[in-house]
Every structure is written in structure tokens, then in C-alpha cells.
Amino acid sequence: MPLVKTSKLITIERHISEEHALHPQATGEFSRLLRDLTLALRILARDVRRAGLNDVLGLTDETNVHGERVKRLDIHANDVIIRAMDHGGHLCVMASEESDALIQIPDEYSKGKYVLVFDPLDGSSNIDVNVSIGTIFSVYRRLDPTLTTGGNVEDCLQPGYKQVAAGYAMYGSSTQLVYSSGNGVDVFTFDPTIGEFLLTFEKIRIPRKGKIYSVNSGNAYKWHQGVRDYVAHLLRPSDDGLRPYSLRYVGTMVADVHRTLHYGGIFMYPADSMLPSGKLRLVYEVNPMAFIIEQAGGMASNGTQRILELEPESLHQRSPCFMGSPDDVREVESFINSSPE
Ligand code: AHM
Ligand code: MG
């Protein structure tokens, strides 16, 4: 059974502080970081819900009925996370998909030993049409924990296996926060009436194999032969009933990976002849989601290598990705490896 529903009534803050109290060296800095982050996510859950109402939607250069400049929701989300996180004393630097450069901690605030990277609002093509969107984040330790100055780009370019924690919030029919600090994956659901994220699934496990694949098939004509052969294989009925697979594609990575985590199967954004590294960003999107999938017992690959072992070279670099049930990811890898291209 992939879903282990919990009977425990517990908030995310209590759950995280209990988990971290198990580490004798814990100073509480990490728990405070997460408390600030969940505040930002609570604010965003509220703002996404009200988006159509308060003119938050729209282009940056639009003005609302009050004659004020309207921010796009993704820019607003970026601002909210920065404002929640820059003064807590636990971070030394941040990087965001929405900011070209590193986000430094202002001079007046003390610097901590953690690094936060995030995609403030994932699923941009779905923002204006009320389809699920999300926030993706991951936390690293700074490379030199003895420093008390701001962090640098190397601190943000660590391989994914060094993530201390990662997760995402999905703003769907309810808001859920899926989180791991390397000890399995827990799912919390936001109760807006009490303003808390409550634990709903503890230590969720992805099924070993699924029957759903998720990919933008409109790009099929540009894919490498191995990926085309793999998808053709998924669509061929088999006598054992394990195929054909069903296709589900929201176009928001958070939603497509979230469904894959629960039901199994595979989510892919392959490279193609026009996007040689695919579309998704290694640091902000692919690594955090790969961490969650692996922590739930799944696999995440760029087609030939484990995602979490890739060495990022630049903040906004892209990577092909194939993630989900281990049997499914192994199968796509074998199609890619045996393809002549
Ligand atoms: P974004 O960061 O601009 O939202 O782009 C990332 C999104 C992912 O959430 C999703 O998996 C992918 O883009 C969908 O891309 P496409 O429209 O090419 O299928
Ligand atoms: Mg994104």
C-alpha cells in the first residue's frame, strides 16, 4: 500500500521539531528556517486562492482598478518567499528561478549556515487558468559552515544528494506540502480554518511500478529515438495487462510528480532536438523533486545518470528528467541505452 494515512493529529512545526530533536547536535536553526518557509507557503496558499479576486493575476505592466501596478503572481510569490526568509539569521544566500542573480541576505541581518533555492511558482502556463500550481524548494548546508558572511554561487551549485531537505507545496483542490529531510517523505495538508499544515500521510512510498506516464507528447517528433521507442512500448497492450499505460499531463511539474508519487508510473521531460537539456531547471525543479522521489523509494534519472549525482555548473541550467517508480525509470533507461543515438 503506497498510502499510509496517519491517525496522529500533528502540525508540521511540531512534526519537524520532533524529528530534529532526535539529532543531538540540532541547534533549532533548521526548525526556525522551516517555520519561516511554511509561513511564506501559507501566505502563498492564501494569495493563490484569491488570485482571481484581487487583480493579482495579469501582466507586470498592467494596472489594477486602484491604478496600482499589478505584479504577476509568480513575481509576487518570489517576493513573499524572499521577505519571509531574508531576516531569520539561518540563511547565507538564496537563489530563485525568478531571479537572474543570487539573492544575498541584506547587510543588516545576520547570516546562517543554510542555503535556500526555490522555484516560487511552478506551472506558469497554468497560473491564469486556475489549474494546480506549486512552489518547489530545497535546502543545503553552506560549503564552509565557519563563515559568517554571505554565501556564494558555489554554495547553491551543490549536487542534489547534498540536499538537507527538499519539498514542494501544491496549490490544488487543497494545499498540500510534501517534505523530506532525508528520513522519508511526509505529506501535510493545509487547513485554512486554523491556518496550519496537518500531517496527512507519513512516510509515503511510491509504488514499484505504475500504469501512468506523464510527458508533453507534442514534443515527440523532436525526441531521441530511445524515448520514442519507450513511449510506443508503453502504448502497446500486453497479455499480462500491465500495458497500455494511461497518459496524464497537467503541465505543472509539481502536480505531475505529485500524482506519480501517489499512483506510481513515470514523469518525463526529455531532451529533444531543440532543447538539448530539456526544459526543467536542475537546481530549482529537478533536484528537489528527485530528492522527494528517491526518499519515497523511487528513482530519478537524466536518462543515463542519477539526477542527484549531477554536478550543477550554473544556477539556471536545465536537465532532462525521468522520475517515478523504480521499475519504470529503469525501463526508460534501458530503452535510451540501447538506442543507437
Ligand atoms: P515554469 O517554471 O515556467 O512554470 O516551467 C516549468 C513547467 C513545469 O512545471 C512543467 O512540467 C513544464 O514546465 C511544462 O512544460 P511544457 O509546457 O513544455 O509541457
Ligand atoms: Mg518552474
Give residue limits of the domains in the chain.
Answer: 12-201, 212-338
Closest residue by Cα to residue 89 from 114, 123, 112: 112
Task: Report the predicted TM-score, pTM, of the whole model to 2 decimal places.
Answer: 0.94
In this prediction, residues 244-248 reach a mean pLDDT of 98
pLDDT tens, 82-136? 999 999 999 999 999 999 999 999 999 999 999 999 999 999 888 888 899 999 9
**Nearest residue by C-alpha to atom 16 in ligand 1:** 251
Which residue's CA is the closest to the ligand 1 atom numbered 5?
Answer: 123
CATH class entry, domain 212-338:
alpha beta
Q: pLDDT for 284-300, tens place per residue? A: 999 999 999 999 999 99
How confident is the model at residue 5, as a pLDDT? 65
Residue with the bigger pLDDT between 217 and 19: it is: 217
Q: CA-to-CA distance for 192 and 242, rounded, in angstroms?
A: 40
pLDDT reading at 143 higher than 80: yes
What the block records as the C-alpha cell of 135 is 512552489
CATH of 12-201, one of 3.40.640.10, 3.40.50.1220, 3.30.540.10, 1.10.3720.10: 3.30.540.10
- Ligand 1 in reach of 152 Cβ (< 6 A): no
Mean pLDDT across the chain: 92
**Distance, CA of 41 to CA of 61 (rounded, Å):** 25
Amino acid identity at 107: D
User: What's at 148, amino acid-wise?
Assistant: T
Ligand 1, atom 12: nearest CA belongs to which residue? 251
For 152-188, letters b (16+ CB in 10 Å) and e give: beebbbbbbeebbbbbbbbbbeebbbbbbbeebbbbb
Q: Looking at 70-195, which runs of residues are DSSP E strands?
A: 91-96, 103-104, 114-122, 133-141, 165-171, 175-180, 186-191
Instruction: For residue 284, give the ligand 1 atom closest to its CA.
Output: 2
**Nearest residue to 78 (alpha-carbon basis) of 60, 90, 64:** 60
Q: How far apart are alpha carbons 283 and 45 in whole angstroms?
A: 23
Cα 91 to middle of ligand 1, angstroms:
28
Q: Which residue has the higher pLDDT, 340 or 83?
A: 83
Q: Which residue did the predictor score with more confidence, 51 or 216? A: 216
